[in-house]
Amino acid sequence: MIVTEKPTFGRRRVLPDAGFTDNQEPFLAKLSPGASQGAPKEAIEQLREICLAQLEPAAAAAMPPELLAKGMERLIGEIATERRIQLNGREQHALARELVHDMRGLGPLEPLLEDDSIADIMVNGPDKIFVERRGKVEVSSARFRDRAHLCGICQRIATAVGRRVDESSPMVDARLKDGSRVNIVFTPLALDGPYVSIRKFGKKTIDFAKLIEFGALTEQVARVLQIAARARLNIVISGGTGSGKTTLMNALSRLIDPGERVVTVEDAAELQLQQPHVVRLETRPPSLEGHGEITQRDLVRNALRMRPDRIIIGEVRGAEAFDMLQAMNTGHDGSMSTIHANTTRDALTRIENMVQMGNMGLPSRAIRTQIAGAVDLIVQVERHRDGGRRITQVTEICGMEEDVIIINDIFHFEVVREDAQGRLHGHYKVSHARPASQRRLAYFGLDQAWMEALQGGAR
């Protein structure tokens, strides 16, 4: 059938099958008649271009995604018939979903975001997309049409959170509606890009029971960490990128008393705190003129004026480490943060170096004294070569001896063997030494529970 008038999503063409109401406005302009022939890929490209060129974005955006997808599928069938393009039902459905994703979502990334088995999405240009499943990185079949298509998606992500990404501001941290963390590197810094890295937001809340099930730790380690959180010990979680630091912090935060006021400070909000009294703060990049930047350090300083019971810093990466120590040393017990380091001893060195980045003029001994007085526990998490994420060290800060911070590894994971499937197996070496936080544990009535947990033996 040749279209001679403006086709609509009205009674005559789409309403009976797509489920649209009579008063919905048409959003497809008049199509030029004619037949088209070509290879299937070329034909699909032609259909896509016709639909995208003729759609009215405002009207399409107002429709629910499900109804829009049904209407698009019916419309694609009609246009294919008019243009004499051979499409089967599967191809029509796939193209309709693709068009809806382009209009309402993040294009080819949408199916990857919907896949619960994927933890990370890494885009290395329009035709190279990698995903991580169960700790292993693999190539995805998803592709962007071209660089312009990928650039448009990047702009959409940044704009949604009030940020921008272009040649004058080529790096941005953002988040998606579901809380997934996004980092974008734009041209000219990205030679083959843009590059997009997405750390997906877990739809299911992970607690210690789940972590034990995943093999990230044992019941004994979980019990000690639970006691530490309830005794309001200051905890720093250390590890590499993608090792599970935020997941562990979310599990620990579930043990915070609902009556406490918690202030969180993050570059891109991703913490999933369940308490009713949570104040979430997020940094702000500079404007086009280079003004108005709000750093983590600014937010930590302001958080101290907000009457917090605990301050949780998503990740310490710079001079805000000094303010974190100040918060932990000034009555905000039970505060938590994460840091990038390879071991718990390295984490102490990293904190010291970051404090020095702030040009405080403090001698090393003074900084180490502050660290020893502020931090009670460092938990090291690591992603092993089998893809598993595990707690490898739980280290207690015991104080100072001359210029050296004394530490005690309460738990230290040792790999014993590798099975036929490549899965690593090991056990924890346990220290039964009297805890340096004995007085704090006794104050909360948890000192005996702590010792009983350690006496439980390695599992």
Beta strand extents in 301-423 (DSSP E only): 310-313, 336-340, 377-383, 389-401, 404-418
Q: Count CB-CB contacts under 10 A for residue 376.
A: 24
Torsion over CA: 208, 213, 216, 220 (sign): positive
Q: Is the pTM value of this prediction over 0.85?
A: no
The SS3 call for residue 183 is strand
Q: What is the DSSP letter of 13?
A: T
And the tokens for 152?
A: 């448009």
Q: What is the pLDDT of residue 59?
A: 66
Torsion over CA: 188, 340, 266, 134 (sign): positive
Q: Where are the domains of the chain?
A: 15-104, 109-199, 208-454
Q: What is the pLDDT of residue 348?
A: 95
- Give me the helices (H) in 215-273, please: 219-230, 245-253
Tracing tokens 């298509």 back to the chain, one arrives at 149
Residue 122's closest CA among 39, 183, 33, 48? Answer: 183
Beta-strand relationship, 136-139 and 336-340: unpaired
Q: What is the pLDDT of residue 22?
A: 40
Q: What is the pLDDT of residue 398?
A: 94
In Å, the largest CA–CA distance within the chain is 90
Torsion over CA: 227, 230, 231, 235 (sign): positive
Torsion over CA: 218, 121, 136, 190 (sign): negative
Per-residue pLDDT of the chain (459 residues; tens, 9 = 90+): 344 334 344 333 333 344 333 433 333 333 333 333 433 667 677 777 777 666 666 666 667 767 777 777 777 777 777 777 766 667 767 777 777 777 778 888 988 998 888 989 999 999 999 999 877 889 999 989 889 989 999 998 988 888 888 888 898 888 888 888 899 999 889 988 799 999 887 767 788 999 999 889 999 999 999 999 999 999 999 999 888 898 898 888 888 888 889 999 988 777 878 788 999 998 887 776 777 889 888 998 898 889 999 999 888 888 888 888 888 887 788 999 999 999 999 999 999 999 988 777 788 899 999 999 999 999 999 999 888 899 999 999 999 998 899 999 999 999 999 898 888 999 999 998 889 999 999 999 999 999 999 987 444
The full DSSP string for 26-49 is P-B-PPPP------HHHHHHHHHH
Residue 171's closest CA among 151, 187, 159? Answer: 187
φ/ψ (deg, to 5) at 427: -145, 165
And the tokens for 37?
A: 């022939």
Residue 415's closest CA among 378, 454, 385, 377? Answer: 385
In angstroms, the CA 276 to CA 258 distance is 6
Q: Choose which CATH entry (3.40.50.280, 3.40.50.10680, 3.40.50.300, 3.40.50.10490) describes domain 208-454.
A: 3.40.50.300
Assigned CATH topology for domain 109-199: Beta-Lactamase (3.30.450)
In angstroms, the CA 226 to CA 223 distance is 5
